[in-house]
Structure 1
Amino acid sequence: MTERVIIAGGGPAGVACAIWLHKLGADVLLIEAQDRLGGLQRRSPYENLWIPGVQGRTGQQVAAALDAHVAALGVPVLRGCAVTQVSADGRRVTTAQGDVEARFFVIATGSRPRSGGFTASAKVAIGPGEAMEALDVLDKPVAVLGGGDNAFDQARFVRDRGGRPTVFSRTPPRAQNLLQDMIADVPVIVGPYEADQTAMTVNGEPFAAFGVMYGFEAVIPDGLTPELDNGYVKVDRFGETSLPGVYACGEVTDYWHPCVTTSAAHGIQVAKAISRRL
């Protein structure tokens, strides 16, 4: 098989898809905007306890292992090369290094933390991981905005680093009970609130830092208009979008349940579906 398949996004889904297509003999090119592969795992300095058979590795180490695997197999990759535009049919992909044509295009661009109108800074972290760890929280009041798992998890890390977190959730918290129980000593304010980044206040109360944990949103390359489902790319059971020849896998599809293992599995399924068509 010599037909070219272009995959945009080098997270677990894109990497798995690229590896399998490469091993199946397809002419595949993986394009990643960052200088390293790994997706959201690049942001996580925490041990990832959820990947079967992988123990004692942080998310960042998992990301490094994905990058090393691709390199060891000789999978063609463009690192540090953002996809700036894709033709409506997905056949022509424009990057900083020029245009590339393909028979099949795979959207594996994943998701990014929602900003909620805030701007990342030395005092405002958007999303979990590195940004939160970079905040100066020792003996300082920190407002964690959001009511999901990440909000409660990050509040715990702030507390354990010597900070004084308060969780603000507009609705009853959605975080699993286990995480809520872990920070029983942390104030949780439920109800409407006004967070002012300029004044660094929430409902008029001053805070030294904000942690914005408003969930994630899909990242879709410019030029493509696939059918969406609740903001994420809608796919059929084979991973094909509403655009013929354009596939999507991993967190950009809100695959149940989004994590490293399910994203990788979804990428493999898409690779198999494309290889059959090739």
Structure 2
Amino acid sequence: MQQAVYDAIVIGAGPAGASCAVWLAHMGFSPLIIESSGRAGGLSASNPFEDTWNVTAPGLTGEEVAARIKQSLDSARVPVLLNSLVTRIERGDTPDGTGREVFKVFFGADLPLHARFVVIASGVEPRTPPDWERDHYDDVLVGPGKHVANYEFALKNVAVLGGGDNAFENALFLKERGAKSVHIYARTLRCQRHWMKFLNESDVTTGAYTFDPETRQVNGRPYDAVVVLYGFRARLQGMEDLGLDCNELGYIRTDFQTTQTNLPGIYAIGEVTHRQHPCVVTSMADGVVAAKAIQKELEKDGA
């Protein structure tokens, strides 16, 4: 049986990827999403807290926003392959033998899927120290999310590593959860200034520090638990050999008007590009920009 050629394969079912795919579907094209996790929604799917920054979803938690994203995909009848990790992307000819060039996207199946365009919306993952020998240490929590929300912090001495908004917001959350003490260690402060008024100066240490994850000691001081919030890094597994142009932080560079990468036919949107302030709303906007750019190319070719 002849394989289908999708108009676009979108890698990632977060706000950016879902937005792009839904717009393409409503414009009469055939998108397909490949998602490495078991559910749509991206980072929102692991956020049990109210998403107060999303003006389109007042009162909803990140998990509820993710459920709405799934509803939108279902309503637009966008096919989504869950638990599917992209392993590589190649250029090749269409399976119908016409000689038209397409992209072949491999994700562990015997045969690749084919598409006219590829949209990378794979998002980000929490950044860990590069010198860690393994990914897990007892009572060391990396990145924000449900694992932090479900942890029992009551009567514990806790260190928070990081100088961004996430570090300070989580420090306040830990205090509300009954932690005996919370101390922030930040090499530099990148947070919004208003966070500082909620903490005592003695709760924050700035400058270089040492951290031993095995003993949970920071500057030689032991803690019952440590929360590591070093920000995020782009998720580009399976795309390392494409030749994507990335900036010094590892995010994909794109054309601002179209979201196209340095590789013709491959677009990148959302937090994997860090094009603008990363959040649900700007990611959704990125998806629309990519969808309209792809629409223009498809209609130009008479698709």
Q: Give me the TM-score of the superposition, normalised by structure 1.
A: 0.94
SS of the residue corresponding to residue 211 of structure 1 reads strand
What RMSD, in angstroms, separates the aligned Cα atoms of the two structures? 1.7
d(CA) in 2 for partners of 1:186 and 1:53?
38
Question: Could you tell me how far 1:166 is from its partner in structure 2?
Answer: 0.5
Counterpart for residue 118 of structure 2: 105
Q: What is the SS of the residue equivalent to 1:91?
A: strand
Q: Which moved more, 1:244-253 or 1:120-129?
A: 120-129
* 2:251 aligned residue: 232
Q: Secondary structure at the match of 1:54?
A: coil
Task: Describe the superposition over 1:123-149 as per-residue Cα deviations: whole angstroms up to 9, x where unpaired.
Answer: 111111212223331111111001110
* Aligned-residue identity in percent: 39
Q: 1:186 to 1:161 in 2, by over 3 A?
A: farther
Contact 2:39 2:82 in 1 (8 A): yes
Distance 2:247 2:157 in 1: 38
The residue that corresponds to 1:57 in the other structure is: 60
2: CA distance, partners of 1:63 / 1:179:
27
One-letter amino acid of the counterpart of residue 276, structure 1: K
Count of residues in Structure 1 that have an aligned counterpart in Structure 2? 276
Give the Cα–Cα distance (whole angstroms) in 2 for the partners of residues 190 and 36 of structure 1: 38
Determine helix, strand or coil for the equivalent of 2:87: strand
* Aligned-partner Cα distance in 2 for 1:142–1:225: 42
CA distance in 2 between partners of 1:50 and 1:197 (Å): 33
Residues 1-278 of structure 1: matches in 2 within 5 Å? 3-87=6-90, 91-97=103-109, 98-117=111-130, 118=132, 119-163=135-179, 164-171=181-188, 173-184=189-200, 187-222=203-238, 223-230=241-248, 231-236=250-255, 237-278=257-298
2:142 and 2:150 map into 1 onto residues whose CA distance is: 11
Q: 1:88 to 1:120 in 2, by over 3 A?
A: farther
Q: Distance in 2 between matches of 1:210 and 1:180?
A: 20
Q: Which has the larger radius of gyration?
A: 2
Q: TM-score, normalised by structure 2?
A: 0.87
Range with bigger deviation, 262-271 or 71-80 = 71-80
What is the CA–CA distance in structure 1 between the aligned matches of 2:91 and 2:254, rounded to whole Å? Answer: 17
Q: Check 1:143–1:47 CA distance in 2 against 1; reply closer, same or farther (3 A cut).
A: same
Distance 1:141 1:109 in 2: 35
- For residue 95 of structure 1, what is the amino acid of its counterpart? F
What is the distance in 2 between the residues matched to 1:29 and 1:53? 25
CA distance in 1, matches of 2:136, 2:282: 29
Q: Which range is displaced more, 146-155 or 90-99?
A: 90-99
The answer as to whether partners of 2:87 and 2:106 remain within 8 angstroms in 1 is: yes
What is the rounded CA distance, in whole Å, between the counterparts of 2:198 and 2:22 in structure 1?
Answer: 39
Check whether the contact 2:6–2:114 (CA below 8 A) recurs between aligned residues.
Answer: no
Note if contact 1:227-1:241 (Cα within 8 Å) is conserved in structure 2.
yes
